Amino acid sequence: MIDTLLALITEPLAHEFMQRALLVSILIGTVCSIFSCFLVLKGWSLMGDAVSHAVLPGLALAFVIGIPLSIGAFIAGLFCALATGYIKDNSRVKEDAVMGIVFSGLFALGLVMLTKIETDVHLLHVLFGNILGISSQDVIEAGTIAILCSLIMLIKRRDFMLYCFDPAHASVIGLRVRFLHFGLLILLALTIVSSLKAAGIILVISMLIAPGATGFMLTKSFDRMLIIAMSVSIFSCITGTLMSFHLDVATAPLIVVIQAALFIMAVFVGRQTQGMKEVSYGT
């Protein structure tokens, strides 16, 4: 019994491409889950959506100019985030409308460019990732960005949390609010870039929302939300990667399916505890 269970784990890991896949999925699962807490609390789900879509023309342009694709992706993603903020501040259009226009415009531009220029960039891989085809070079690049971003977010989590909760108070106690704001946007773009090869720009959106949303449903304190989000995400990445091998299905989509299933379970569990909370509610 234990032997067969163990075989479920060791058998895939006999292959080097599976070792790389597992490692990279854990790394991006970690960085995405940490960011997802801030994203959910700041109400930035649409921003995550926008920035990841906007990465596409950056990839195409980077290919044309001949610079590393991740640098092109990062610049395009950040440009989208900043442009959204700028248009919102300087016009009377609502933020979600601006984002809708900016990101679908950039995404469409990327599609146009990719159909016109000859690249070795597979559209399907860009959209949904190609975790099993990832090279050691990719693992090192994605891993470095993921670990760096994770550390920054964990170390400065209180400042970022305060910025999400009450930016006015953050300003009043002398924190640099603009610094925190742009810091979060840069971290968002970097997180997406680190996940591109493995998860693709469509699936990363889910990895950037589901874990934080799950944590939010299950607890009332921020640090616990962070722990739940990270656990849920890493668990999904490990089981998803191993199961995809045995079931012979696409890896990143399976990870996302597991995360979504866990979120839905959390919604029901969360409802129950919320119900109890209301009953035991004195004044």
List residues binding other proteins (CB under 8 A).
41, 89-92, 155, 158-159, 162, 164-169, 171-175, 177, 216, 219-222, 224-225, 277, 281, 283
Nearer to other proteins, 105 or 270 (CB): 270
Nearer to other proteins, 143 or 183 (CB): 183
Distance in Å, CB of 161 to other proteins, minimum? 8
Nearer to other proteins, 205 or 218 (CB): 218
- At a CB cut-off of 8 Å and minimum separation 6, what does 264 contact? none
Distance in Å, CB of 269 to other proteins, minimum? 15
Distance in Å, CB of 150 to other proteins, minimum? 16
Nearer to other proteins, 4 or 283 (CB): 283
DSSP result, 90-124: HSSS-HHHHHHHHHHHHHHHHHHHHHHS--S--HH
Distance in Å, CB of 91 to other proteins, minimum? 7
Distance in Å, CB of 175 to other proteins, minimum? 7
Distance in Å, CB of 189 to other proteins, minimum? 23
Residues 76, 183: Cα–Cα separation, whole Å: 16
> Which helix (H) or strand (E) element contains residue 219?
none
Nearer to other proteins, 27 or 161 (CB): 161
Nearer to other proteins, 164 or 258 (CB): 164
Tokens linked to 274: 């919320």
Nearer to other proteins, 165 or 267 (CB): 165
Distance in Å, CB of 263 to other proteins, minimum? 16
How far does Cα 168 stand from its chain's mean position?
A: 27
Using CA atoms, how far residue 254 sits from 24, 193, 195, 238, in Å, is 15, 20, 15, 11
- For residues 270, 276, 279, 280, the Cα torsion angle rounded to the nearest 10 degrees is -120
Where on the phi/psi map is residue 154: left (φ > 0), alpha (ψ -120 to 50), or beta?
alpha
Start-end of H helices in the chain: 2-13, 16-42, 45-65, 69-90, 95-116, 123-128, 136-155, 157-165, 167-172, 177-207, 210-218, 222-247, 251-279
Distance in Å, CB of 172 to other proteins, minimum? 5
Angle 222-247/251-279 helices, nearest 10 degrees?
140
Using CA atoms, how far residue 255 sits from 60, 179, 235, 237, in Å, is 27, 33, 9, 6
Residues 226, 230: Cα–Cα separation, whole Å: 6
Nearer to other proteins, 101 or 127 (CB): 101
